[in-house]
A and B are shown apart, each in its own frame.
Chain A
Amino acid sequence: MRTRRGAGLDLIALTALTALTALTVLTACGSGDDSLDRAPSGGTEQAHGLGTVTVLAASSLTEAFGELGDELEAQHPGTRVRFSFAASSELATQITAGAPADVFASASPSTMDQVVKVGDADGDPTVFVRNRLEIAVPAGNPADVSGLADLADKSLTIALCAPEVPCGAAADTAFEAAGVTPAPDTLEPDAKATLAKVSLGEVDAALVYRTDVIAAGDDVEGIDFPESADAVNDYPVVALAEAPNAEGAEAFVDLVLSDEGRAVFEAAGFELP
């Protein structure tokens, strides 16, 4: 009887102790992060450059932004630019859910609006490039695709972006303009995933951005179509209100909007506003 009671008390004490330890560890982690975030803006500017700049960007910006990231790191030695490339809509969800990031570049104004609407943007977004769609086919065009109408052919394997993401919304607009009802076999979660199915040769055709086709190199061929003019996506960029590194965010946005940035985007196949 006595031992049992003792064990019970032990138990309560132990539970409390464990909970307390866990709490302390968690709090310690939290404050640790904080001090890390603040460090770059402190006095050690020389050694750390602009610190770490975190950029969330539409997957179609992978190559061009990668280049600009290298450029910023070269201009400010010690700076580190970290990217997360995904569907703009997914990134917008992450930002509104509190993901720590400095800059957001979206493939459509409507996804950018999701972020602006809840007050997560620092100032007004600026449109920095435009992108149009192109039909992507595997090297050699095995299914002999020539225009948008071929994407209605049920016997072909077709990949499109899901309507939830910007490239899918643009595709819908293009099909509507052309009066074509597409026959897709898969609706992919972002532009790069769609393109990957083409690079692997697993689909006969897909609708992606022109810049994606250029970035994919020799594995993929692009076919222009007139209706793409009706579905041009504007790409806005903005520094985020809760940016842990506001200075770095500003520097990156400035670089994106600079002549140097424009040259990089033009080379990547983007149109300039």
Chain B
Amino acid sequence: MTTRRQLAGGLPPVMVPFAVLAVLFLALPVVGLVVRAPWRTIGAELSQPESLEALRLSMVCASLATLLCLALGVPLAWVLARGDLPGRSLLRALVTVPLVLPPVVGGIALFTALGRRGIVGRWLDQWFGISLPFTTAAVVVAEAFVALPFLVIAVEGSLRAADQRLEEAAATLGAGRWYVLRRVTLPLVAPGLAAGTVLCWARALGEFGATITFAGTFPGTTRTMPVEVYLALQRDPSAAIALSLVLLVVSLVVLAGLRERWLGTSR
């Protein structure tokens, strides 16, 4: 009886209290922010040009980083899921490196690769006069570096889970590769792709360590919202709380909006 109910999707009662604790664990810090927010001065705090500038920069950089991740990450996920190359498990481990690397270390790693004295950056500087660190492009690169694994892992998972027989069936019925990709594979992996994109964007938006290390912090060019919050915390903690709330609200609105649109459900 019990087994059948569980198989039918019923909730084992043991899970519920833990789920409740999990909700409390996640929600209490947010409640704390809301309670401690300086509601009287919050308007003045937010209309500061620096805050708006940082918010705009955060949005733009996180979105560009997500586009970069999509362009690079989807093909990589494809290779990992479907490709038949040696050393694939090693490659898969490599993809997760930015996940385990403390972001500050990631920033230093980016210096050693793309900095003025980095193994590649040196030549960029000498040949083209391009110096990446301390530019808005560096923010995008740092965010993409940290956020890419989220996209790759999500897309790879859904590619593996997708039923390849459907693609084969389409092919035997005469559909070309691109047609199969567009009309069969992409719709199959769409939920995973959407989830990965959202995760990737969210991670990029909150990125702090790699950004402050590799891109530095300068108002308008590299000072994103998390960095602005960090600096505000040293000057005026209540301003930092106000800024954190804004970032939280804006990201929740964007994520909820995207979810609605992409997944087409309100559940």
Seen from chain A, the residues whose Cβ lies within 8 Å of a Cβ on chain B are: 3, 7, 10-11, 14-15, 17-19, 22, 87, 89-90, 92-93, 97, 157, 159, 162, 164-165, 184-189, 193, 197, 200-203
Contacts and interface: CB of A to CB of B under 8 A. Distances in A.
Contacts, number: 81
Contact of B234 (A89, A157, A200): A89
B131 A186 contact: no
Interface of B: 1, 13-14, 16-18, 20-21, 108, 111, 115-117, 131, 133-134, 212, 215-219, 222-223, 230-235, 237
Nearest to B112: A200
B212 A189 contact: yes
Given A89-B235, A90-B233, A186 B134 contact: yes
Contact of A185 (B14, B16, B134, B231): B134
B21 A11 contact: no
Nearest to B5: A3
B217 to A, nearest CB: 6
Contacts of B233: 90, 93
A18 B216 contact: no
B237 A93 contact: yes
Contact of B216 (A89, A197, A201): A197
Contacts of A185: 134, 216, 218
Given A10-B13, A14-B16, A202-B117, A186 B222 contact: yes
9 contacts: A3-B1, A14-B17, A157-B131, A164-B231, A185-B134, A187-B223, A189-B230, A202-B111, A202-B134
Given A186-B218, A187-B216, 18 more contacts: A10-B13, A14-B16, A92-B234, A93-B233, A97-B237, A157-B133, A157-B134, A162-B231, A184-B218, A185-B218, A186-B215, A187-B217, A200-B108, A201-B115, A201-B117, A202-B117, A202-B134, A203-B134
Closest 9 pairs between A and B when the two form their complex, measured CB to CB: A186-B216, A89-B234, A18-B17, A15-B17, A185-B134, A201-B117, A164-B235, A164-B234, A14-B17
Given A189-B212, A202-B115, A18 B21 contact: yes
